[in-house]
C-alpha cells in the first residue's frame, strides 16, 4: 500500500467509524481543527488514562495538576514565548499564500512560480484574545501554547501542599493552541491540540542522569502501547533545532506515512523557566534541601507529548489489510486496553429469540466493559465493522445458545471462535482484555 493511500484510508476510516470528524463540517470545515466522535473520544480517553496511570497514579514521586488555559500575560513574557515562540514565514508574491520558510525551497508549492518569496519574517504562533469587556493592549491575553507554564508557576503551591522532596514531578494533560502557519497531515499538526506533559524537578548536576532516565522511560512507554519498535527512533536536537528554553532535547519519532516525524520530546530545560519566573514575579521559586541545608532553583527535565499525535502513531501502526476468503479485511489491531469498544454482542440472526438473549448479555456486560450491541445486517458485515473499529472480541448468540447457554467469542486477530458458557463470559473476557 502506498503511504499516501494509507493516510487517505485512515482519514476515511476515522470518519466512517466515528473516530474523527472535520470541525464545523456542515459549514465547509475549519482548517486544522478536528472533532473526536463517539469512538474517538473513548480512544483518546484510553490513551490519556494509560498515561495518567503510568505517570501519576503508579508513581509516588509525581503529582497531578490541571491549570487554566488562560494565564497572566506576564507568564508568556517571562517564559520567552512573546519574544521567541516564532516561526519564519514567507509569502509567495504571486499567489499570496504563506508558508513556513523551512518548508519551501525556491518554488511555490501552490502556484509553481519560482523565486518569488518575500524575505522571511518572524511570526508569533500564540493565539491572542482579550479578557473582559474592553479590547485593547491592557486586556490582551494568550491561549497557552504549552501546558508546561501552568506547572512552573504552581511549583511552590504543589511543593507546599504535597510535601514532595526533590526529585519529584508534576504532570498535566490539557489543551494547547498554536497558530501554525502550515498545519496538516490530519491530526498531526493542528491549531488546537492536547498535550500530556510532565515536569521533573531535580537538583542541578543530576539533570543529565534524569534526562537519560526519562528518555528511556518514555520510549518504553510508547512501545508498551503496542507500537512496533522498528518504526520508532530517537533524534537528538542539533544546536539550531533546540527551542529557546532547552539545553538538550531528544524527539521520539515515528515513521508516519508522510515520513519520520516527532510526536514527543524530552527536554532538559535547566533552571531557565523557574529562574525567569522568579526574576519577573519577584517570588522565590527555590527549593530548600533539608539534608544539606542549601537552597537552589531546581533544574527541569520535561517529557512533552501530544495526545492527538500519539493517537495518530497508534492508528497508523495498528492499521492493516488482510485477504480473507477473497475479501479484503481492514483491521485496527489496537491493544485491548486502547480499543474504544472492548466487546461487541450480536445475535446470529434477528429471530428465534436470539435478539432477546443478546440484549440481555449486552446489558449484563455493559457495566464491566465498553460494549457495542448490533442486531441488523449480515453477521459477516457486523464482524468487519468491528474489525475496523479495533474491537478485540465479538460475542455471538446462535442456535446452540438457546439449547446450552453458551456463546461464541471471536478473536479479532486470530479469527478463532471459542465456545464459552454465558455464566463464565465476564471471567473469560476480563482475562482476555487484561
Contact set with ligand GAP (CB under 6 A): 146, 148, 178, 180, 189-190, 193, 195, 197, 262-265, 302, 304-306, 308-309
Give least dist CB 256 to ligand GAP, A.
Answer: 12
Instruction: Between 54 and 364, name the residue whose CB sits nearer to ligand GAP.
Output: 54
83's grid cell? 519574544
Instruction: Between 269 and 410, name the residue whose CB sits nearer to ligand GAP.
Output: 269
**Which single residue is written with the C-alpha cell 522498528?**
230
Phi/psi at 118 (5° precision): -70, 160
Instruction: Between 36 and 383, name the residue whose CB sits nearer to ligand GAP.
Output: 36
Give least dist CB 369 to ligand GAP, A.
Answer: 29
Instruction: Between 146 and 207, name the residue whose CB sits nearer to ligand GAP.
Output: 146
DSSP lists the bridge partners of residue 34 as: 22
Instruction: Tell me the C-alpha distance between 123 and 89, whole Å.
Output: 6
Give least dist CB 312 to ligand GAP, A.
Answer: 9
Q: Please say whether the dihedral angle defined by the alpha carbons of residues 170, 174, 176 and 182, taken in this order, is positive or negative.
A: positive
Give least dist CB 319 to ligand GAP, A.
Answer: 20
Give least dist CB 346 to ligand GAP, A.
Answer: 37
Phi/psi at 87 (5° precision): -120, 145
Instruction: Between 207 and 398, name the residue whose CB sits nearer to ligand GAP.
Output: 207
**Which single residue is written with the C-alpha cell 531557565?**
272
Give least dist CB 183 to ligand GAP, A.
Answer: 6
116's grid cell? 518569488
**Which single residue is written with the C-alpha cell 535547566?**
270
Residue with the shortest CB distance to ligand GAP: 306
Rama region for 186: left / alpha / beta (φ>0; ψ in -120 to 50; rest): left
Instruction: Between 145 and 167, name the residue whose CB sits nearer to ligand GAP.
Output: 145
268's grid cell? 532538559
Instruction: Between 153 and 344, name the residue whose CB sits nearer to ligand GAP.
Output: 153
Instruction: Tell me the C-alpha distance between 108 and 290, whole Å.
Output: 61
Give least dist CB 30 to ligand GAP, A.
Answer: 14
24's grid cell? 464545523
Give least dist CB 174 to ligand GAP, A.
Answer: 11
Give least dist CB 39 to ligand GAP, A.
Answer: 20
DSSP lists the bridge partners of residue 90 as: 99
Per-residue exposure over 367-399, b if at least 16 CB sit within 10 Å of its own CB, e if not = eebbbbbbeeeebeebbbbbbbbbbbbbbbbbe
Instruction: Between 264 and 286, name the residue whose CB sits nearer to ligand GAP.
Output: 264
Instruction: Tell me the C-alpha distance between 421 and 418, whole Å.
Output: 10
Instruction: Tell me the C-alpha distance between 145 and 178, whole Å.
Output: 6
205's grid cell? 548536576
Instruction: Between 298 and 306, name the residue whose CB sits nearer to ligand GAP.
Output: 306
Instruction: Quickly list H helices, 245-306.
Output: 272-281
- Could you report how far apart the first and last alpha carbons of the chain are, in Å? 32
Amino acid at each position: 500500500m502506498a503511504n499516501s493511500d494509507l493516510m487517505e484510508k485512515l482519514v476515511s476510516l476515522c470518519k466512517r467509524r466515528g473516530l474523527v470528524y472535520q470541525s464545523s463540517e456542515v459549514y465547509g470545515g475549519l482548517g486544522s481543527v478536528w472533532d473526536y466522535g463517539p469512538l474517538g473520544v473513548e480512544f483518546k480517553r484510553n490513551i490519556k488514562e494509560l498515561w495518567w496511570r503510568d505517570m501519576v497514579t503508579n508513581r509516588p514521586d509525581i503529582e497531578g495538576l490541571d491549570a487554566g488555559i488562560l494565564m497572566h500575560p506576564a507568564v508568556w513574557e517571562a517564559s520567552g514565548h512573546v519574544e521567541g515562540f516564532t516561526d519564519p514565514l514567507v509569502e509567495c508574491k504571486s499567489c499570496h499564500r504563506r508558508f513556513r520558510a523551512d518548508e519551501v525551497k525556491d518554488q511555490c508549492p501552490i502556484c509553481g512560480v519560482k523565486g518569488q518569496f518575500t524575505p522571511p519574517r518572524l511570526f508569533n504562533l500564540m493565539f491572542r484574545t482579550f479578557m473582559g469587556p474592553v479590547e485593547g493592549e491592557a486586556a490582551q491575553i494568550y491561549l497557552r501554547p504549552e501546558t508546561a507554564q501552568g506547572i512552573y508557576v504552581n511549583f511552590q503551591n504543589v511543593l507546599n501542599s504535597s510535601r514532595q522532596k526533590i526529585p519529584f514531578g508534576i504532570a498535566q494533560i490539557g489543551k494547547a493552541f498554536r497558530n501554525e502557519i502550515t498545519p496538516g497531515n490530519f491530526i498531526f499538526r493542528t491549531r488546537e491540540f492536547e498535550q500530556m506533559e510532565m515536569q521533573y524537578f531535580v537538583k542541578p548536576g543530576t539533570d543529565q542522569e534524569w534526562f537519560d532516565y526519562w528518555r528511556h522511560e518514555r520510549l518504553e512507554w510508547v512501545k508498551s502501547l503496542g507500537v512496533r519498535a522498528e518504526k520508532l527512533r530517537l533524534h537528538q536536537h542539533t544546536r539550531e533545532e533546540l527551542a529557546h528554553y532547552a539545553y538538550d532535547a531528544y524527539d521520539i519519532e515515528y515513521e508516519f506515512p508522510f515520513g519520520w516525524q516527532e510526536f514527543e520530546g524530552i527536554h532538559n530545560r535547566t533552571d531557565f523557566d523557574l529562574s525567569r519566573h522568579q526574576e519577573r514575579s519577584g517570588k522565590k521559586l527555590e527549593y530548600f534541601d533539608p539534608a544539606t541545608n542549601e537552597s537552589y532553583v531546581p533544574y527541569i527535565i520535561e517529557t512533552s507529548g501530544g495526545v492527538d499525535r500519539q493517537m495518530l502513531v497508534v492508528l497508523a501502526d495498528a492499521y492493516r489489510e488482510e485477504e480473507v476468503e477473497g475479501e479484503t479485511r481492514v483491521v485496527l489491531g489496537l491493544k485491548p486496553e486502547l480499543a474504544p469498544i472492548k466487546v461487541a454482542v450480536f445475535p446470529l440472526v434477528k429471530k428465534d429469540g436470539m435478539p432477546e438473549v443478546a440484549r440481555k448479555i449486552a446489558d449484563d456486560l455493559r457495566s464491566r466493559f465498553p460494549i457495542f450491541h448490533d442486531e441488523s445486517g449480515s453477521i459477516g458485515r457486523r464482524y468487519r465493522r468491528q474489525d475496523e473499529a479495533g474491537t478485540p472480541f465479538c460475542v455471538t448468540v446462535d442456535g446452540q445458545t438457546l439449547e446450552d447457554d453458551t456463546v461464541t467469542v471471536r478473536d479479532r486477530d486470530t479469527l478463532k471462535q471459542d465456545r464459552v458458557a454465558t455464566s463464565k463470559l465476564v471471567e473469560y473476557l476480563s482475562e482476555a482484555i487484561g
